[in-house]
Structure formats: structure tokens, C-alpha cells
Chain A
Amino acid sequence: MSLRAETGTFLRTVWGRAYPRVVGMQREKSWMLFDVFLPLLQVAAYVYIYRAIGAPPEFTGFVVLGGAMTAYWMNILWSMASQLYWEKETGNLELYIIAPTSRMAILLGMAVGGIFATTIRAVGVLVAGILVFRVPMAPTSVPALIGVFLLTLVALYGLGMLMASLFLLWGRQAWQLADLLQEPVFLVSGFYFPVRALGFLVALGASIVPITLGLDAMRQLLYPEMMEGFKFLPVGIELGTLAVLGAAFLFFAHRALRYFEDLAKREGRLTLRGQ
């Protein structure tokens, strides 16, 4: 197949896999309501905790921003990492394997569709949080803020693609592991408080999850004075690390997908359901 034809197939696959996620938002509007409403309940509870203990108003901003970013982490766990497990359970995985296209394109399509759908939810949480709790926000640099956000997403979805490959081997463990990676990651990545509070070494270890660095950088850009005593690393270093993480995760996702697909075929796990 010529390069042009291959590229065409790759792009059509990306769009084809992204399409259900994009159009799904239109078909099942109740999901949108719940996707915004549910994180907002958690955010509201944490905002009231901060108010009960007399925290400065910037902490409300920390919680709202963290609450919005939970949408991306949940999407990574349940719609990226676990996706190939779901496909296996519903009998679609075999179709992916026999389809004359790149599996990386399928993963990329999942990521693109996931980013689109999740961004709508995250913006919903952010806007609702800002309006309901009157969160003060004064970014020092909007381009830097957008840059940090985009790099965080690239690195995060690269990690999601890598995790999807790893989860290919598992049965119900995939579900349990995704479940397990919720609260502990919310804790070590500092979704609801500055990650520096955990100590430098813990924050450094947690930086393998790109949201750790992304959230810290975004908070520094939004609340420079408040973050003076809490910042983990300078924003420039966090940006550079996110870029490196993004490239590394995409590279390893490509390698891991091939390796684990071969292994799963040899061990007969690709079509095993209800494990």
C-alpha cells in the first residue's frame, strides 16, 4: 500500500473511532448532565470543607480546577485504559484485530474522541464551579496556560494509550485496577490541594501522571501569590517534562501495543470473556 493510501486509512480510522464518542454526546444528552453534575457534587463538598476550616478563597479555585481535571483522569481510566477490555467483553475486539488498519490509529481515535467529549464535561464543571462558588481567577499568562493544558492532554492521553495496551491482557482485573487508580491518584497528584504538600519526593514520583505537573503549573499561572509557598517546580521545567512525557508515552504505547497483542494472542486471552 502506498504511503498516501496508508495515511488515508490511518486518518479515516482515527475519525471512525473518534466519531462514536463525538456523536455519543449528542445522542445521550443525559450523560452530559450527569458528567457535569456528579463531579460538581464532589467539588461542592470539598469547597465547603475548605470554607469550614477557613481557607483563603484561592483554595476554592484549586478544588474547582482539580474537579474539572478529574473528568480527564476518569476518561483515561474508563474510556482509554479499560476500553479494549470492554471491547473484548462485547465482542468487538476481534473486529479491531481483523480490520485492515493500524491499531495505533484506533487508540488515537479513542483519544481524540475522548478529549472532545471530556473537554465539554470539564468546561461544564469549570464554568458551573466558577459561577456557583464565585471562584477568583486571574491568569498571569493565557498562552502559557493554554500551552500547559494542551501539553498535559497530549501526555495524559499518551499514558492512556499505553495503559490500554497493558490492560489488553487482563479480564476483570482491568476493571478493578481502573477502580483502584481513582482515589490514590486523586491523592498523590494533588487534585484538591497543592501536590507539594505531600513532600517533594512524593510529588516527583506522582509526576508520572501528567496531571500532577499540569495542575501544579496551571495553579501557578492562575494563583501566583498563593502558590508561592506551595509550588512544586518552576512552570518552565514542568512544561518541558510534560513534553518529554508525552513523546515517551506515545513511543512506548506503540511498542507495548504490538508486544501485548502478540502475547495475548499466544496466551489465548484476546477473545476470552467474563474472566
Chain B
Amino acid sequence: MTARVRGGESWRSLRVAAWLGWQIESNWTDPFLFAVYSVVKPVAGALILVFMYLVVARGGLENPLFPYIFVGNAFYIYVSGVLLGVSWAVIDDREHYGMLKYMYAAPLNIYTYLLGRGTAKTAISTVATTITLLFGVGALGIRIPPGQVDWGLLAGALVLGLAALAFMGLLLGGATLLTARHNYFIGQGVAGALYLLSGVVFPLDVLPAPLQAVGKGLPVTYWLEALRRSVLGDGGNEALRSLSTGTVILILALSTVVLAVASVLFFRWAERIAHRRGLIDMQTMH
């Protein structure tokens, strides 16, 4: 097969999977209810943090920590959306719909197919993140003047971070191929660990030193640091203040490349093992 044919097949897999993912995510109800559903969850999640803050601060939202918490939480919506969107597709297709074996029997690229399935969740996460941020600006008075936002940095960091998350999702997808459906817990565990260790809703400096060191090794930490610098003008982490914005982006870019290579290699290895052990059509209905 030529590289051109292979490229066309990958693109078609991505495009069709994105459409399929969108249908699965959205066609269970009418568009209005789906829009409400997509907005209520993230806004409620953000409001939990707002009220936690207000109960202690007794009304004062001027503390710079508040925008730090709010913006970090808003962008974290992507983490669970993209990460679990990609890896959950394996469980959904294999165990719920029983279609994964047909995917392997069809002329498609399973790697780009899974990335495509995550695209729908990424689109929904984009809407939810945007609405959460607008809610923060409009209702809670968080100052994000459009003229002061570094749009170039925001776009660059967003693309790199989303790519890194998608590759992490593929790593989890590979692990999911080899395990029973309770691997869902592993996805949740990874998302939860990132929430705790990446300085999403509190500065890394608050964590005990060993956990802080782990946090400094995670790409999501640098992604959020870059996003906060672009939106708020300050990353808010004393532990990362000595790094220039260029260095933060460089670390994020390098870790994305490492994740891309690792996810391709690991997923291929997991596929080979899954074929050999007959796990492609495994049903673990417990």
C-alpha cells in the first residue's frame, strides 16, 4: 500500500470516527437538551470551587488565587474529555456495541479511528470550557481583558496540550485493549491524579515536596502554566516562576513528541498482544 493510500485511509478513519463519536454523544436527545446537558455539568463543577472559596473568603473574589483556581478548572474540562474520550471508545466499541472486531475487519486505521472518536468529546469540551470561562468573566468578575490575552501563546499551548492529552488517551486505549472493562477506573485514576498533581486548582507549591516533584514531571502542569500565562498574564506557580514562557512551551512540545512516539509504539504492542490472546472481542460484562 502506498503512503498516499495509507494517508487517505487514516484521514477517512479520523473523519468518519469523529462523525460517529458526535452521533453517539449527541443523538440521544434533542439539540436543546444536549446543549443544556453539555453546559450544566462543567458550570456546576466550577461553582463547587467558587462556593468552597466563598465560604472561606466570605465574599472576597479579589485574591489572585481565585482566577488561578477558576481558569485551571475550566481548562481541566479538556483533560477528562479528551483523555477518557479516546480510551473509553475501546470499551464502548468492544463491550457495549460489540463493534471493535468489525473495525479490525474493515479497511481503516484504528489509531486515527480512536483519535477521531475523541474528537467529539474535544468539541464538547471546547464549548464547555468556553462557556465556563465566559461565566467566570461575566458572572464572577474574573478579569480576562481580550486585549491583554496572548492569543498566539493560547492557541499554541492549546494545540500542543490537546495533542499531548490525545496521545495519553491512546496510551490508555492500548492498556484498555489488554484489560477488562474496569480499566475505566484506570482512566479515571489518571485524570484524578492529573487533577491533584498538575496544579489544576491550587498552586504546586501547596503540595508536599515529593508530590510537587511528580507534578513537575507531568506535561499537563506545563500546559496549564502556559495557558494561565496567556490568559491571566501569570502562571501563579512559584515553583515554575523561574522558567521563561519559551521554556515552558519547549517542555510541553518535547513531552508531546515523546508521548506521540510512546503511544504509537505501546498501542501497536498492545494490539499484537490483544490479537494473540483473543482480546479484541472480549466481553467482561461484570
What residues of chain A have their CB less than 8 Å away from a CB belonging to chain B?
A: 24, 27-28, 30-31, 34, 37-38, 41-42, 44-46, 48-55, 59, 89-90, 171-173, 175-176, 179-180, 182-184, 186-187, 191-194, 197-198, 230, 274-275
Q: Is the CB of B40 within 8 A of A184?
A: yes
What string of 1s and 0s marks CB contacts (under 8 Å) between B206-236 and chain A?
Answer: 1100000000000000000000000000000
Closest A residue to B27 by beta carbon equals: A172
A38 to B63, CA, bound (A): 30
Knowing that A48-B196, A49-B69 touch, tell me 12 more A-B residue pairs with CB under 8 angstroms: A30-B182, A30-B185, A42-B192, A42-B195, A44-B196, A45-B200, A49-B49, A49-B202, A53-B56, A55-B56, A59-B55, A180-B37
A59 to B186, CA, bound (A): 29
* A55 proximity list for chain B (CB < 8 A): 55-56
Q: Is the CB of B207 within 8 A of A48?
A: yes
* B65 proximity list for chain A (CB < 8 A): 52-53
A236 to B37, CA, bound (A): 36
Q: Is the CB of B206 within 8 A of A52?
A: yes
A211 to B230, CA, bound (A): 40
Interface check B29, CB cutoff 8 A: yes
A-B Cβ contacts below 8 A, count: 107
| Residue in contact with B189 in the complex, picked from A37, A50, A180, A198, CB distance below 8 Å | A37
Q: Is the CB of A176 within 8 A of B37?
A: yes
Interface residues of B in 178-192 (CB under 8 A from A): 182, 185-186, 188-189, 192
Q: Is the CB of B56 within 8 A of A59?
A: yes
| 16 A-B pairs with C-beta separation under 8 A | A24-B286, A28-B182, A34-B189, A42-B192, A45-B202, A46-B52, A48-B201, A48-B206, A53-B56, A53-B63, A55-B56, A173-B28, A186-B48, A187-B45, A193-B55, A197-B55
Q: Is the CB of B54 within 8 A of A45?
A: no
A30-B182, A45-B202, A274-B97 known; A184-B56 Cβ under 8 A: no
A24-B286, A198-B51 known; A180-B40 Cβ under 8 A: yes
Per DSSP, chain B at the interface is helix
A171 to B96, CA, bound (A): 13
Q: Is the CB of A41 within 8 A of B41?
A: no
Closest A residue to B36 by beta carbon equals: A180
Q: Is the CB of B48 within 8 A of A192?
A: yes
Closest B residue to A190 by beta carbon equals: B51
* B201 proximity list for chain A (CB < 8 A): 45, 48-49
Give the size range of B's interface with the partner.
35 or more
Closest B residue to A41 by beta carbon equals: B192
A189 to B189, CA, bound (A): 24
A182-B41, A183-B41 known; A171-B202 Cβ under 8 A: no
Closest A residue to B42 by beta carbon equals: A183
* B286 proximity list for chain A (CB < 8 A): 24, 27-28
Interface check B139, CB cutoff 8 A: no
A141 to B149, CA, bound (A): 54
Closest B residue to A188 by beta carbon equals: B44
Closest B residue to A198 by beta carbon equals: B51
Interface residues of B in 93-138 (CB under 8 A from A): 96-97
A48 to B198, CA, bound (A): 12
Closest B residue to A40 by beta carbon equals: B192
A59 to B185, CA, bound (A): 28
Q: Is the CB of A197 within 8 A of B185?
A: no
Interface check B203, CB cutoff 8 A: yes
Closest A residue to B28 by beta carbon equals: A172
Q: Is the CB of A38 within 8 A of B188?
A: yes
Closest Cβ of chain A to B213, distance in Å, is: 16
* A42 proximity list for chain B (CB < 8 A): 192, 195
Interface check B285, CB cutoff 8 A: yes
Q: Is the CB of A90 within 8 A of B188?
A: no
